[in-house]
A and B are shown apart, each in its own frame.
Chain A
Amino acid sequence: MALLWIEDVVKDFGGVRALDGVSLEVRERELLAVIGPNGAGKTTLLNGISGVYHPHRGRITLGGLDITHFPPHRVARLGVARTFQNIALFKGMTVLDNLMLGRHVRMRSGIFPSIAYWGLAQREEVRHRERVEEIIDFLKIQDIRKRVVGALPYGLQKRVELGRALALEPRLLLLDEPMTGMNQEEKEDMARFVLDVSEEWGVTVVLIEHDMGVVMDISDRVAVLDQGRKIAEGSPGEVRSDPAVIEAYLGAGKRRA
């Protein structure tokens, strides 16, 4: 059963065709990796799903609902969370506040009860703080919960960003290169978190990653993009031996031979 359908999506930037008729199906509870050389359109694809860009052609359906032209905040409300390639945290705020912001769509309080900080608004804040603390425990960031995010080291910021996405309690989690720039140990930690989220929490994950070792280890399926087209899709083993993939990555194909 597919959670997300991407059908024949086309997106141009000026004269550049970033996505050229990509179709992809993301199944419920699977961990799908999207790989491809730089400029293949991976991030554009994520931006299309989360509503940052709207495709010129094609359709994106989430759980039977056409979200092709939804603005980002409506997509988020449907339970789609994501992280960014270059960390996009709220740098002036604490880790706690960043995670509480992740719960924005799960909270209801309007402005007037908030200003009085009384009754419903207060109870809601405390209740959601409890959920956020569970995520803090899960990611093992208890000791930095009151630190300002901008002052944290890179690896921890990446972890906090994952935490903010998890705080939304997503159905679909989009991770844009969560392990870039990390050392081996940090990568292993992050891979563990992603696996746990996928297997234990049952969240559907779409992962963009350049580290092939990680991709082949943790993903259920792999889709390969090259120059805006999907050139292969299948289990890690299948993809690895696919001649089109080897050509895209190594450039050892017939054209240049």
Chain B
Amino acid sequence: MIHRECGVLKTSYAADMALYPVPLARWTVGAIAAAAFGVFPLLAGDYLLSIANLAAIAVVGAIGLNILTGYTGQISLGHGAFMSVGAYTAAILATRAGLPVWVCLPAGGAMAALVGMIVGSPSLRIKGLYLAIATLAGQFVIEWTINHVTWISGGVQASIYVPRPALGGLLIQSQREMYYFIMTVAALGVVAALNLFRTRAGRAFIAIRDHDVAAEIIGIHIFRYKLLAFAISSFYAGVTGVLYTYYLGIANYEQFTIVTSIDFLAMIIIGGLGSILGSIFGAVFLTLLPIVLRYVVEGIGGLFFTIPDVLNLITNVQLILFGALIVFFLVVEPEGLNKLWRNIKDYFRVWPFAY
């Protein structure tokens, strides 16, 4: 993380192309992973773990949207709907076919990928705002379909209760067990995305974002790669939906409306477009923000108002501060939290000598 390249001699291209070429950075990443998997779940209580679980699920979804919007430059307002496709696919498979989680999870992702490719197919002809509208249409069509086709939604409430997932003989029930399960999936998602963008396909995505004509001239089949980006992104979204479903024990379309799509867009914009670390920052930030804001409003509000008034205020003040913070971030650092982090890192890279 904060590390210096000084004194690191690389003797092969493979070493230079490693994900973390500097030993200290490898150690830092290892330490963070050890803390996340070894220390944190043992020390944290159920409340903290539940927040971490929600954040980790959001990380998967944010990375997915960033692959499409941040890296490939295709705006999507249908991310929430792709999640719902994953959620209901898994819920149906789990309840009606009795399939285990390790089948439902990738199946939900795959189904979402398929739907994502269909919704993304107009990207051959249209881009930018027009594509945003096309995906918005996708969002509403999917929402409506799930809501009105009783075979999918399973009745009036449009919600399906799913049993707790089990891996082998192990029932994943408590927040702690959930944490291990979700974090493993999230970690896989992070590593896969990191690898994607240092190899051929990932580079092609960025090329399409930066200059589509030039990308085609050097031999990239634009439409194929755009569809691939939609598929991968929607796969992540589908997995996110499956994780929500198992975590909450219920698949419900209200969890995946247009508001969700916009929330995830906010995550990657605040975190940093075209950055995996930014996706993580954004997802964690937007998960923690309402919680922190509630404490702040409760704490300060208690000094001026009565408790019932404060409880009334909270939701509104939260929304106001939420919007204000997003505007603040866009103005101060349009490239997001990831850029702020890079600035800090760059400062310490040569610290204490300026050159």
Chain A residues near B (Cβ < 8 Å): 50, 52, 71-73, 76-77, 81-82, 84, 88-93, 97, 100-102, 104-105, 107, 109-111, 114-117, 121-122, 124-126, 129-130, 133, 164-165, 168
Are A129's CB and B218's CB within 8 A?
Answer: no
Inter-chain contact count A-B, CB under 8 Å?
A: 109
* Candidate in A91, A102, A111 with the most chain B CB atoms within 10 angstroms: A111
* Given A114-B200, A125-B199, A101-B218 contact (CB < 8 Å): yes
Main secondary structure of the interface of A (DSSP, over half): helix
Which stretch from B149-157, B164-172, B179-187, B203-211 is at the chain A interface?
A: B203-211
Q: Which 5 A-B pairs have the closest CB atoms?
A: A76-B219, A105-B219, A114-B199, A90-B210, A88-B214
Tell me if B211 and A168 are in contact (CB < 8 A): no
B97 at interface (Cβ–Cβ under 8 A)? no
Q: Does B337 contact A (CB under 8 A)?
A: no
Of B12, B16, B203, B222, which one neighbours A101 at CB under 8 angstroms? B203
Contact A107 B214 (CB under 8 A): no
Knowing A52-B213, A93-B206, A104-B218, the reply to whether A115 touches B195 (Cβ < 8 A) is yes
Q: Measured between alpha carbons, how far is A82 from B218 in the docked complex, in Å? A: 8
Contact B214 A115 (CB under 8 A): no
How far apart are B202's CB and chain A's nearest CB, in angstroms?
7
Q: How far apart are the CA atoms of A64 and B304 in the complex, in Å?
A: 85
Known: A104-B218, A104-B220. 9 other contacts (CB 8 A): A84-B214, A88-B211, A88-B214, A90-B206, A93-B206, A105-B218, A114-B200, A115-B195, A126-B17
* CB-contact partner of A111 in B201, B213, B214, under 8 A: B201
A-B pairs with beta carbons under 8 Å apart, 17 shown: A71-B216, A72-B216, A73-B219, A77-B219, A90-B210, A90-B211, A91-B211, A92-B206, A107-B200, A110-B201, A111-B201, A114-B202, A115-B192, A115-B195, A116-B195, A129-B13, A130-B13
* CB proximity of A227 to chain B, nearest CB, Å: 26
B103 within 8 A of A: no
Q: Are A90 and B214 in contact (CB under 8 A)?
A: yes
Docked Cα-Cα span, A72 to B219, in Å, equals 7
Among residues of A, the one whose C-beta sits closest to the C-beta of B192 is A115
Chain A positions within 8 Å of B248 at CB level: none
Q: Which residues in B have their C-beta under 8 angstroms from that of A81?
A: 217-218
- Residues 200-253 of B at the A interface (beta carbon under 8 Å): 200-204, 206-207, 209-211, 213-222, 228, 232
Docked CA distance A91–B232 (Å): 24
Closest residue on chain B to residue A123 by CB atoms:
B14
CA distance A91 to B211 in the complex (A): 8
* Interface membership of B196, Cβ < 8 A: yes
A73, A109, A129, A168: the one contacting B222 at CB < 8 Å is A73
Known A101-B207, A111-B201, A129-B17; contact A168-B219, beta-carbon cutoff 8 A: yes
A60 to B43: give the CA distance in the assembly, Å. 70
Residue of B nearest to A150 (CB): B210
Most buried by A among B19, B192, B210: B210
